[in-house]
């Protein structure tokens, strides 16, 4: 059975977000794939050794800076590499990642000023996944992901 890489906070079994809150995805397609055992949950930030809760962080160019002004690029990079390793290990068909995150955002992220402003961009883990050729959707693109799934799964 072909697998789908997903952000662990969307998967919802563990509390992994910076604020310790849940963001469990309830879209019927996501729940169907979860029930089928297709989903491979990854949290790049926890993989990188960061605690829950933790200060929120934002992307500034190629660096990741947290709210306290600390550079956490190394942790984010290590975690992104582990997410990529798991995508390869499970030979995933595509990915569904949490929008806006400095790791998992796929279309927009916060602008690095901690003012709440969002800009077009992607998180570090998503950038790495895409550079290896993986297709990445946000949780707000579930129908598009399903169309892609149908198209690609039928062609292999
Ligand atoms: S790094 Fe990704 S999976 Fe982990 S809490 Fe943030 S958005 Fe969710």
Residue with tokens 């892609």: 148
Q: How many CA atoms lie within 13 A of 34 on its CB side?
A: 17
Tokens of 51: 């605690």
Per-residue pLDDT reduced to its tens digit, 38-80: 999 999 999 999 999 999 999 999 999 999 999 999 999 999 9
Which atom from ligand 1 is nearest to the alpha carbon of 42? Answer: 3
Q: How many CA atoms lie within 13 A of 121 on its CB side?
A: 19
The helix-helix angle for 28-35 and 142-154 (nearest 10°) equals: 50
Per-residue pLDDT reduced to its tens digit, 90-130: 999 999 999 999 999 999 999 999 999 999 999 999 999 99
Alpha carbon nearest to ligand 1 atom 4, residue? 43
Res. 143: pLDDT tops 80:
yes
Burial class (CB in 10 A: 0-12, 13-18, 19+), 140: middle
Alpha carbon nearest to ligand 1 atom 5, residue? 17
Tokens of 4: 């789908």
Number of structural domains (the chain) is: 1
Q: How long a stretch of residues is the chain?
A: 156
Which atom from ligand 1 is nearest to the alpha carbon of 18? Answer: 5
pLDDT of 117: 98
- Residue 150 lies in domain: 4-154
């Amino acid at each position: 059975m072909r697998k789908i890489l997903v952000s662990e906070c969307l998967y919802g079994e563990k509390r992994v977000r910076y604020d310790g809150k849940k963001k469990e995805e309830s879209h019927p397609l996501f729940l169907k794939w979860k029930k089928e055992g297709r989903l491979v949950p990854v949290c790049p930030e926890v993989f990188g050794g960061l605690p829950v809760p933790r200060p929120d962080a934002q992307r500034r160019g190629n660096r990741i800076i947290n709210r306290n002004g600390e550079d956490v690029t190394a942790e984010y990079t290590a975690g992104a590499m582990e997410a990529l390793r798991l995508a390869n290990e499970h030979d995933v068909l595509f990915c569904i990642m949490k929008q806006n995150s400095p790791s998992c955002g796929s279309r927009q992220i916060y602008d690095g000023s901690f003012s709440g402003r969002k800009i077009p961009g992607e998180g570090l883990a998503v950038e790495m996944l895409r550079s290896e050729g993986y297709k990445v959707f946000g949780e707000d693109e579930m129908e598009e992901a399903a169309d892609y799934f149908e198209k690609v799964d039928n062609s292999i």
